[in-house]
Amino acid sequence: MSRPLRVVVIGSGPSGFYAAEALQRQSAVPVQVDMLDRLPTPYGLVRGGVAPDHQKIKGVTVVYERIASHPEFRFYGNVMLGRDVQVSELDKHYDAVIYAVGNESDKRMGIPGEDFSGSHPATNFVGWFNGHPDYREERFDLSVERAVVVGIGNVAMDVARILAEDPEVLAKTDIAGYALEALRKSRVREVTILGRRGPAQAAFSPAEIAEIGSLHGADLVLLPEEARLDDVSRETLSRKPDPEAEKNIKYLNDKAAQGAGSNPRKVHLRLCVSPVEVLGENGRMNAVRIEKNKLTADEKGNVRPKGTGQMETLQAGLIFRSVGYNGVPIQGVPFDAKSGHIPNEAGRVVDEAKKPILGKYVVGWAKRGPSGLVGTNRPCSVATANALLEDFKSFDAGPAPEKAREAAEALYRSRQKELFTFKDWKALDRIEVETGKKLGKVREKFTSVAEMVAALSSEKAAA
């Protein structure tokens, strides 16, 4: 072989890093990996999505640093596909492209009043408290006393926990400074989480709900009749046992039996209810109408919620929808609007005729939808990397000057004067950790690209 296979990974979250790692861990095909991110900072949802009080999960970045230190790996931060470089240009400079772009949009509830002020996607709140540059200007009216969170997945748990948590616990984390100040002034006393199905179908993991149940200063409260297992779910579980669901059912019933507790803040978990309308006045929400559901099994045995017509109104000044994510189409890349991700077969991107496109691959949420924990991405990315290596196993392209690393880097530098290498990111990382230390925090994040650029240039000027 006359030159290494040139691969570019778009996106530097977990799935992107695991794809790079899988390519590094073999020697049959010599590979050079470049990784682009639209932000100067790497790590995707580990930095911008994982909640600040989950520092253990963030510890996984040690693995990504090791991957980034490989001599045949380069990181180009602040370089955005579609803005600074086009798909056709990547095709010229690389043999293969791996899309690790995640899901950057949220699903809507599709109910009247959803656009009232006070109604927000959970993703915006998560991005805001995590200091993601896209969300730092978001404003949430935390002067209200009651908030509603729709959905009972782990993102909903993160949102409810951050709203109900003692801010002094968050003060030691890497939460964005402005978010900590706003949460310290928050008057939210009651958070109501709405699950449209029952305890057996909860999407949260047992550890996540247990964290809500052991918050400082807040009680998890359930109605015993909503925590109780219904006949349809009991029958489904007897056919298809689910240890996680069993754990959740027991935990929720134990909690329901404990009553409301004596802490000043309450997290109410309501089950088998759906929001049907956000109510408000003068463009501002003030309540949510919910409908009681009954669970039924469809012809395939899936448990579905069915409205009973029994309504209730919850007074609330904020509502966060946390009902799942969707991908965002990229110019020049196939996109399946129905599923919200890049159409693929086992990681090979396919065209309209469902035929794999040689040299185009996808990993992570962009491949399989928004599911799983950080570690779920490793086998997913390994499978895609293996498909890529299989396609290029007899690769022998001969010399191609435009496919030299220098040519790609020159292109990025010509388009983005404020390009961040991994070394540049490490400089930012050190400043964030040092600033954090002075404040008694894990780190104090830069939350705007301009701040990052300025900090790096003063660091370089001082060196």
> Which chain residues interact with ligand NAP by CB under 6 A?
54, 109, 150-156, 158, 195-197, 201, 203, 208, 274, 322-325, 370-373
Residue 169's contacts (CB-CB under 8 Å, 6 or more residues apart) are 53, 216
CB of 104: closest distance to ligand NAP in angstroms? 13
CB of 201: closest distance to ligand NAP in angstroms? 5
CB neighbours of residue 130 within 10 Å:
25
CB of 21: closest distance to ligand NAP in angstroms? 21
Amino acid at 456: L
CB neighbours of residue 181 within 10 Å:
11
Residue placing its CB nearer to ligand NAP in the complex, 196 or 360: 196
Residue placing its CB nearer to ligand NAP in the complex, 255 or 348: 255
Asked whether 304 and 272 are in contact (CB, 8 A), the reply is: no
Residue placing its CB nearer to ligand NAP in the complex, 134 or 459: 134
| Alpha helix ranges (H) inside 36-84 | 44-48, 55-58, 61-68
CB of 102: closest distance to ligand NAP in angstroms? 11
The residue number with the shortest CB distance to ligand NAP is: 153
Task: Tell me the pairing of strands 348-350 and 73-77.
Answer: unpaired
Residue placing its CB nearer to ligand NAP in the complex, 223 or 373: 373
Q: Which has the closest alpha carbon to 321: 150, 436, 452, 453?
A: 150
Q: How far apart are CA 366 and CA 348, in angstroms?
A: 12
Residue 106's contacts (CB-CB under 8 Å, 6 or more residues apart) are 121, 122, 123, 124, 321, 323, 324, 325, 326
Residue placing its CB nearer to ligand NAP in the complex, 41 or 274: 274
CB of 326: closest distance to ligand NAP in angstroms? 11
Q: Which has the closest alpha carbon to 114: 281, 327, 279?
A: 279
Q: In the block, which residue shows the tokens 């359930």?
A: 222
CB of 75: closest distance to ligand NAP in angstroms? 24
CB of 127: closest distance to ligand NAP in angstroms? 13
CB of 210: closest distance to ligand NAP in angstroms? 12
Secondary element (H or E) of residue 209: helix 206-213
Residue placing its CB nearer to ligand NAP in the complex, 31 or 288: 288
Q: How far apart are CA 367 and CA 344, in angstroms?
A: 7
Residue placing its CB nearer to ligand NAP in the complex, 205 or 435: 205
Tokens of 41: 């900072």
Residue placing its CB nearer to ligand NAP in the complex, 128 or 425: 128
CB of 440: closest distance to ligand NAP in angstroms? 24
Residue placing its CB nearer to ligand NAP in the complex, 258 or 296: 296
In the chain, the largest separation of any two C-alpha atoms, in whole Å, equals 73
CB neighbours of residue 326 within 10 Å:
17
Residue placing its CB nearer to ligand NAP in the complex, 134 or 451: 134
CB of 371: closest distance to ligand NAP in angstroms? 4
Residue placing its CB nearer to ligand NAP in the complex, 1 or 373: 373
| Strand segments (E) across 69-183 | 73-77, 96-99, 105-106, 119-121, 146-150
For the chain, how many residues are written?
463
H/E/C letters for each residue in 300-366?
CCCEEEEEEEEEEEEECCEEEECCCEECCCCCCCCCECCCCECCEECCEEECCCCCEEEEEEECCHH
CB of 428: closest distance to ligand NAP in angstroms? 25
